[in-house]
């Protein structure tokens, strides 16, 4: 008699599935953090070299860019690079896992199941 009762998608996806999804989400976010940190370091170096060089060589930059302004320029570019690359990495990883595991829980996949 229990075989005739259909289970809801929430009952069908048990605790093991939840643990698997949680582990996958942690792995995706960790990949994003690592990729974002690498991008922030590279962007910081790529911004610091011309910023410091312009302060040494250009009279306008020497007069108008104090240490706080230089740090603000470098940290803004590094922060932006971190968030952009981390976001793109997490989204790409989630998209890759979504296609790999067959849709994974959207409204349409629950209706068809």
This prediction's pTM: 0.70
Q: What is the 3-state secondary structure (H, E, C) of the chain?
A: CHHHCCCCHHHHCCHHHHHHHHHHHHHHHHHHHHHHHHHHHHHHHHHHHHHHHHHHHCHHHHHHCCHHHHHHHHHHHHHHHHHHHHHHHHHHHHHHHHHHCCCCCCHHHHHHC
Residue-wise pLDDT for 8-43, tens only, equals: 555 555 667 888 888 888 988 999 999 999 999 999
- Return the domain boundaries, the chain: 13-58, 65-97
* Average model confidence (pLDDT) across the chain: 83
């Amino acid at each position: 008699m229990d075989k005739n009762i259909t289970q809801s998608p929430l009952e069908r996806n048990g605790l093991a599935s939840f643990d698997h999804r949680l582990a996958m989400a942690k792995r995706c976010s960790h990949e994003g953090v690592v990729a974002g940190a690498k991008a922030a370091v590279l962007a910081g170096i790529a911004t610091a070299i011309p910023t410091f060089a312009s302060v040494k060589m250009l009279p306008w930059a020497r007069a108008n860019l104090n240490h706080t302004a230089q740090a603000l320029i470098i940290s803004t570019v590094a922060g932006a690079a971190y968030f952009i690359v981390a976001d793109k990495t997490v989204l790409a990883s989630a998209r890759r896992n979504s296609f790999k595991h067959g849709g994974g829980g959207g409204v349409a996949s629950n209706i068809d199941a």
